[in-house]
Amino acid sequence: MTLHSTIKKITVIGNGGWGTALAILLSKKGNEITLWGHNKTYTDHLREKRENTKYLKGITLPPDITVTSEITPKLMDAQFIISATPTPYLRSVLIKFKEVFVDKTPVISITKGIENETLMRPSEIVRDVLGDQPVTLLLGPSHAEEVAHGLPTTIVASSNDLNLAQTVQELFTTDRFRVYTNTDVIGVELGAALKNVIAIAAGICDGLKLGDTSKAALITRGLAEISRLGTAMGANKITFSGLSGLGDLITTCISPYGRNRWVGEQIGKGKSLQEILNNMEQIAEGVWTTKSVIRLSKKYNIEMPITEEIYSVLFSGKKPLEALNNLMMRTPKSEVEELY
Catalytic residue annotation? 195
Per-residue burial over 85-103, b = 16 or more CB atoms within 10 Å of its CB, e = otherwise: bbbeebbebbeebeeebee
Confirm if 206 and 265 have CB atoms less than 8 A apart.
Answer: yes
- Rounded Cα distance, 315 and 317, in Å: 6
Confirm if 136 and 157 have CB atoms less than 8 A apart.
Answer: yes
Rg over CA atoms, the chain: 20
Residue 2, class by beta-carbon neighbours within 10 Å (0-12 exposed, 13-18 middle, 19+ buried)?
A: exposed
Instruction: Give whole-number Cα distances, 33 to 97, 176, 179, 252, 273, in Å.
Output: 17, 20, 20, 28, 37
Segment holding 225, helix H or strand E: helix 212-232
Strands (E), 177-277: 177-182
Strand, coil or helix: 33: strand
- Rounded Cα distance, 42 and 44, in Å: 5
DSSP assigned state of 60 = B
- Rounded Cα distance, 33 and 62, in Å: 10
Strand, coil or helix: 200: helix
